[in-house]
Structure 1
Amino acid sequence: MALIPKETIDQVLHYADIVEVVGDFVTLKKKGQNLWACCPFHHEKSPSFSVAPAKGIYKCFGCGKAGDVVRFVMDVEGASYPEAIKWLAKKYGVEIKEEEKTPEQQLAQNERDSQFIVSDWAKNRYKKLLQESEEGESIGWAYLKERGLNQATIETFELGYSLDKWDDVLTEAQQAGFDVKYLEKTGLVIKREEDGRRYDRFRGRVMFPIHNVSGRVVGFGARTLRRDEKAGAKYLNSPESEIYHKSDVLYGLYQAKQSIRQEELCYLVEGYLDVISLYQGGVKNVVASSGTSLTEGQIRLIARYTDNVTVLYDGDAAGVKAALRGLDIILENGLNVRVVLFPDGDDPDSYIRKVGDARFRKFVEEQSQDFITFKTQLVAREAAQDPVKKAEAIREVLQSIAKVPDPLKRQVFLQQTSMAFHIDEQVLISEYNKLVKQTAPGPRAASSNAPSARPHSGGGSRSPSTGQHAPSQTVVTPTGLSQRPADDAMPDEAYGIMEDESGYETETIPDVQMSVEREIVRLVLNYPAQPLHEGVSVAAYLLGQTDETPFRTPIFADLLHLCRETLAEGKFPDARELVRHHRADIRAAISDLVTDPWELSPNWITHSIYVPREIDLLQQACDNAILRLNKCNVERELGDCLAAMNELDPSNIEEYLAQMAIYKSLKQLDMQLAGLLGTIISR
């Protein structure tokens, strides 16, 4: 893949105006310093989508989508980063001069381009045969009409027909000037090894072109209409090629992506006709795995548009098995999943044709189950009254819960399972922890999946405020950022759950501590270059004051580290640049910290009422933030000191008095900090 030079990207970002770009998709109205609109990513009646021109950032306070101009194009178009840069470059007339490719890279690009071109040609050939050939009209068109499809739907999905001949595509493609090797590479033509004879792969079949996210044809699915022994498999698909990787493609996603984003939900089915029939019936947010086992690549595709998936499968044994197979992989990738099974003998295609659009929607709404309800009912039914089978059934459910990356969701699912099986929740948590330890390759690998069973305790690093011991800092690595995958959705634990070194326990960070750390990072990001006393900037002052104070909230620790690195390079932290970070949780956190859903009404000025601005009180805001951070650390150490005293042997008077002296010293410091903050002490 060719690389876009950094200079070109910088040029695109220089010209790209976030107001103009967003304005191409929604109508923005100015309110205060920012512009507002109804969000393009979810349904809403009152505008909660904000664009801050000065900061180059958009933020929806409803669904949480946020980022810079490139991220907006990526979100709204479902594009990759290079695709978004090219989209913006085209809009602003910036020439993309890709870095010179090596001969091998150029050859590979030519090979891919040639396969795309021949696939597009074949699509048009099959479409023409369906509508203009006698065989296509009498067999292919008649079949599609019999399945209830109208012409608009057939055109939308670009359906076609392959003649029942050995060499139609081969002959026509050669006459059109295509090299036979590209027909073979895309699987349109097969070459027999024994005699070198070539023939069409698809013959006498209705053709379903498979598009990638950008709408280019990468392969085909084909259904035979013959019922004799020579017909072969009912469905035949293109083989893997340089442009078609089954595990990274979802049928119908190109047509469905806008609806998925707007509905905030993706329906997942198995077959081509399931997708097409539902789309025609008004259920347009639907895709298919095309009969293959669901893969992580396919789930990541869905996650670009929504976090919510409802699986629609047949109610027979095969359908239930397929639903269970796909369930765990969806959970493992952090998406919310529900399941709908249709009556035995029906699939989504047949059911919507049988009952109609309205009743279909009602059925899906009424029969939709969360994965815990679905799986517990299924395994409980199979276990019946057998205690051994019931125990195994519970372990199956726990195995699924273990795949959920969000600790809060895991806790809720454990509670649901406890109620469903009438098992004490603490017993389930204990069994869950055993299961995680057995399946994990090592303690650190298992840590992200452990539920919160009890609070963390123990020694650790020394607090700079008092010199006493404070709890260990285990999430933020000594060299910088916590290890989180690129472009991962922001996990809930990023705002408050820390991993214990055992790998199986977690510590919940108090809301006050989280709030204080958030405020410090917010001030650094919003006013980095603003001077305080003696010309010291906000960023230099706050980063200097917290230099030896480790933050306990992982996301804020990571953000502070990024700001510190930037300042060390001689630059002020710039939210416009940092929001382009490869990690989704960092991008989202920055967007949250530098945007505000509230603005002062101009009526205050109209009525000559002076309201001080935050920028006029920065020294006070920074000092208060540091004092509050120190107070949080002291309060935590007071709690640790009390806990240590409670565990002492009553006969050990000397050690008890030593701890009491430490406690009194900490208490005095706590009261001093409270006085500086104007806090009333009630104890």
Structure 2
Amino acid sequence: MALIPKETIDQVLHYADIVEVVGDFVTLKKKGQNLWACCPFHHEKSPSFSVAPAKGIYKCFGCGKAGDVVRFVMDIEGVSYPESIKWLAKKYGVEIKEEERTPEQQLAQNERDSQFIISDWAKNRYHHLLQESEEGESIGWAYLKERGLNQQTIQTFELGYSLDKWDDVLNEAQKAGFDLKYLEKTGLVIRREEDGRRYDRFRGRVMFPIHNISGRVVGFGARTLRRDDKAGAKYLNSPESDIYHKSDVLYGLFQAKQAIRQEELCYLVEGYLDVISLYQGGVKNVVASSGTSLTEGQIRLIARYTDNITVLYDGDAAGIRAALRGLDLILEGGLNVRVVLFPDGEDPDSYIRKVGDARFRRFVEENSQDFISFKTQLVAREAAQDPVKKAEAIREVLQSIAKVPDPLKRQVFLQQTSTTFHIDEQVLIGEYNKLVKQSAPGPRAAGSPATADRRPAGNRPSAADRHAPSQTVVTPQGLSQRPADGSMPDEAYGFVEDDVAEDTDVLPDVQMSVEREIVRLVLNYPAQQLHEGVTVAEYLLGQTDETPFRTPIFADLLHLCRETLAAGKFPDARELVRHPRADIRAAISDLVTDPWELSPNWITHSIYVPREIDLLQQACDNAVLRLNKCNVERELADCLDAMNQLDPGNIDEYLAQMSIYKSLKQLDMQLAGLLGTIISR
């Protein structure tokens, strides 16, 4: 893999302006030192999304998304670290000179680029024929209008038409100077083995360009409009190629990704027209698997934008039965799956055209149910009067439940299944455990519904391992969950999510808040001078040099700051926020972004409020005193505990411990006095 040189990345980061980049997606308004907007990552009415230009950081106080300009592009576009750098480089006119590739790598890249170019040309050719040719207007355009599509929708999805000729694309591509081999490699042209004759794959069909996540055309779906074409397939798709892998593409995702993120929900349908009709009707968070069985690659794509999928089925019972198997993959990926079943003879496309946008939305909302409940009810109805079938149906449901990584969800689903089938829950759990044992590859397989799975850390995650069994981590906001495996966006760039701290006891809120305050002061005012010329970073890091932090995330952050200072530089939040660990990036963004701004009305009315920067010495002194007091209080508690464990007859040891306790209590009172605390905790 060719890498982007560090010098180029540094140049991109130098030019990239977070206000300009974020401003391309939301309208920012100045309020105090920062700019604010409604968050582009979730629905909200009041702005809680903040951009701090001086620090180069964004933070949403609603959903918690945070980071620097590179992370914003990664989050908003759903791309990797190198792709984000390239996106910014293109915006700011920075030339990307990737490190030298081998001849084989260069050849492979040239082949892919050529296929992208000719696919884009073909898309434009088909789109032109739809609007400008007599055949395209009278047949293709008329069909799309009949399906209720307007011109804006046709433009959005870049729909087209292929002439009912054997060699239109073949001849026009040759005239444009394209190499025939790329026409064949992309499947636009077919070459017969018998006589070497070439001809167009798509003829007399409405064309649906298939875009990848970045919006580049990788293939086509095509619907025949010839009523006499009984032998040919109704829909014809491009074959697999170097740029088109069906298992890694979802139709409509390029157009839908923003809406999916904002709605925090993805609707999954079967066909191209289902996607397009719903999108035109205002349901823009919709994608299609294009008639193929859902794959892990497609689930990973959806998981970039949301944890929630609702599958919209037509009333065909056989089709539902076949599709149920694919939905187990979604469960296994840790996503939340719901199902909506339309009336017999209806599909999403026909139903929204029949009842209109508002009634369609209401129907989906009222008829949506979680997948396990849906499957349980479906198989229960099918096996209602047959005990043997009923036993098989129960095992089938249990196999789906076993795919759910979350142990709490598994427990709830088992309770629901027990109620639906009128079977004792303990019997059901016993059967579940048998199934898990039978399918387990080894002794470390998934445990009982009441216990979490444990897998070796450090492996690259599958489908959606950010939803995998988690460990408890203390974050700035309190206890949170993180994947047991690290998330690894791009190892080649060293941009990997390292494992964070192991499970830890719940710490007192005071201890956590004190440690948080010390790190916050270091990150916000590292070079600010206190009395006698010492800086905030030097003072606080010196005062805490022999005091281990108990909150893992703040201990790690303090260590990073100490390393930076030892290297002769002051800790810089703009640089540290690019750290590969997600929990560190989130914590830094939280620590250097303030959700509150001082109202300008106070200044107008001559109300003076001291600024924190004017009281830094006091803030630093208080933070150190509070940390020392926390440590003394913990030692007091340990001393009392030790005294309680002593043998009542051991008077000498008891008196020794009592002496230590009195000394600690006296120190605690002194610290309380310095802090102005009336009653010592």
Query: Judging changes above 3 Å, is the alpha-carbon distance between structure 1 residues 568 and 162 closer, same or farther for their aligned structure 2 residues?
Result: same
**Equivalent position of 2:487 in the other structure:** none
Query: Alignment partner of 2:402: what SS?
Result: helix
| Residue 595 (structure 2) pairs with residue 597 (structure 1) | yes
Question: 1:248 Cα deviation (Å)?
Answer: 2.2
Question: 1:589 Cα deviation (Å)?
Answer: 2.7
Check the 8 A contact 2:35/2:50 in 1, yes or no: yes
**Equivalent position of 2:311 in the other structure:** 311
Query: Judging changes above 3 Å, is the alpha-carbon distance between structure 1 residues 103 and 279 closer, same or farther for their aligned structure 2 residues?
Result: same
Query: Alignment partner of 2:403: what SS?
Result: helix
| Residue 392 (structure 2) pairs with residue 395 (structure 1) | no
Check the 8 A contact 1:19/1:51 in 2, yes or no: yes
**Equivalent position of 1:407 in the other structure:** none
Question: 1:325 Cα deviation (Å)?
Answer: 3.7
Question: 1:54 Cα deviation (Å)?
Answer: 1.9
Structure 2 unaligned blocks of 5 or more: 485-501
**Equivalent position of 2:618 in the other structure:** 617
CA distance in 2, matches of 1:667, 1:380: 67
CA distance in 2, matches of 1:632, 1:498: 29
Query: Judging changes above 3 Å, is the alpha-carbon distance between structure 1 residues 663 and 53 closer, same or farther for their aligned structure 2 residues?
Result: farther
Query: Judging changes above 3 Å, is the alpha-carbon distance between structure 1 residues 384 and 674 closer, same or farther for their aligned structure 2 residues?
Result: farther
Check the 8 A contact 2:418/2:425 in 1, yes or no: no
Query: Judging changes above 3 Å, is the alpha-carbon distance between structure 1 residues 15 and 151 closer, same or farther for their aligned structure 2 residues?
Result: closer
Bigger drift between 247-256 and 291-300 goes to 291-300
**Equivalent position of 2:490 in the other structure:** none
Name the amino acid aligned to 1:396.
Q
**Equivalent position of 2:251 in the other structure:** 251
Check the 8 A contact 1:500/1:506 in 2, yes or no: no
- Can you list the C-alpha shifts for 1:619-648, whole angstroms capped at 9, x where unaligned? 334324533663686599689979x97xxx
After superposition, residues 254-333 of structure 1 pair within 5 angstroms as 254-321=254-321, 324-333=324-333
**Equivalent position of 1:191 in the other structure:** 191
- Can you list the C-alpha shifts for 1:236-256, whole angstroms capped at 9, x where unaligned? 211221211222221112222
Query: Alignment partner of 1:538: what SS?
Result: helix
Query: Judging changes above 3 Å, is the alpha-carbon distance between structure 1 residues 69 and 161 closer, same or farther for their aligned structure 2 residues?
Result: same
CA distance in 2, matches of 1:616, 1:367: 61
| Residue 512 (structure 2) pairs with residue 509 (structure 1) | no
Query: Judging changes above 3 Å, is the alpha-carbon distance between structure 1 residues 189 and 10 closer, same or farther for their aligned structure 2 residues?
Result: same
- Can you list the C-alpha shifts for 1:40-70, whole angstroms capped at 9, x where unaligned? 3333332211111221111111232221122
Check the 8 A contact 2:293/2:323 in 1, yes or no: no
**Equivalent position of 1:36 in the other structure:** 36
CA distance in 2, matches of 1:679, 1:380: 67
CA distance in 2, matches of 1:332, 1:663: 55
**Equivalent position of 2:347 in the other structure:** 347
**Equivalent position of 2:415 in the other structure:** 418
**Equivalent position of 2:146 in the other structure:** 146
Name the amino acid aligned to 1:244.
Y
Name the amino acid aligned to 2:37.
A
CA distance in 1, matches of 2:188, 2:172: 12
- Can you list the C-alpha shifts for 1:11-56, whole angstroms capped at 9, x where unaligned? 2222322223333443333322222222233333322111112211
Query: Judging changes above 3 Å, is the alpha-carbon distance between structure 1 residues 179 and 315 closer, same or farther for their aligned structure 2 residues?
Result: same
Check the 8 A contact 1:532/1:618 in 2, yes or no: no
Question: 1:557 Cα deviation (Å)?
Answer: 5.2
Question: 1:186 Cα deviation (Å)?
Answer: 0.6
Check the 8 A contact 2:264/2:306 in 1, yes or no: yes
Query: Judging changes above 3 Å, is the alpha-carbon distance between structure 1 residues 666 and 435 closer, same or farther for their aligned structure 2 residues?
Result: farther
Question: 1:380 Cα deviation (Å)?
Answer: 4.9
Check the 8 A contact 2:311/2:337 in 1, yes or no: yes
Query: Judging changes above 3 Å, is the alpha-carbon distance between structure 1 residues 391 and 204 closer, same or farther for their aligned structure 2 residues?
Result: closer
Check the 8 A contact 2:160/2:207 in 1, yes or no: yes
Bigger drift between 313-322 and 168-177 goes to 313-322
CA distance in 2, matches of 1:16, 1:77: 16
Query: Alignment partner of 1:231: what SS?
Result: coil
Query: Alignment partner of 2:239: what SS?
Result: coil
Check the 8 A contact 1:516/1:628 in 2, yes or no: no
CA distance in 2, matches of 1:138, 1:445: 60
Question: 1:538 Cα deviation (Å)?
Answer: 3.5
- Can you list the C-alpha shifts for 1:302-354, whole angstroms capped at 9, x where unaligned? 34434433222224334434653444433444444332222233221121122
Name the amino acid aligned to 1:162.
S
Check the 8 A contact 1:308/1:335 in 2, yes or no: yes
Number of residue pairs the alignment of both structures matches: 640
Query: Alignment partner of 2:292: what SS?
Result: coil
Query: Alignment partner of 1:152: what SS?
Result: helix
CA distance in 2, matches of 1:631, 1:433: 49
Query: Judging changes above 3 Å, is the alpha-carbon distance between structure 1 residues 92 and 172 closer, same or farther for their aligned structure 2 residues?
Result: closer
Question: 1:272 Cα deviation (Å)?
Answer: 0.6
CA distance in 2, matches of 1:636, 1:611: 37
**Equivalent position of 2:234 in the other structure:** 234
Bigger drift between 538-547 and 56-65 goes to 538-547
Structure 1 unaligned blocks of 5 or more: 405-409, 454-473, 646-651
Query: Judging changes above 3 Å, is the alpha-carbon distance between structure 1 residues 27 and 203 closer, same or farther for their aligned structure 2 residues?
Result: closer
Check the 8 A contact 1:36/1:50 in 2, yes or no: yes
CA distance in 2, matches of 1:393, 1:546: 59
Check the 8 A contact 1:543/1:564 in 2, yes or no: no
User: Pick from 502, 517, 524: which aligns with 1:526?
Assistant: 524
CA distance in 1, matches of 2:115, 2:663: 72
| Identity across matched positions, percent | 72
User: With structure 1 as the length reference, what TM-score do the two structures score?
Assistant: 0.78
Name the amino acid aligned to 2:524.
N
Name the amino acid aligned to 2:199.
Y
Check the 8 A contact 1:116/1:216 in 2, yes or no: yes
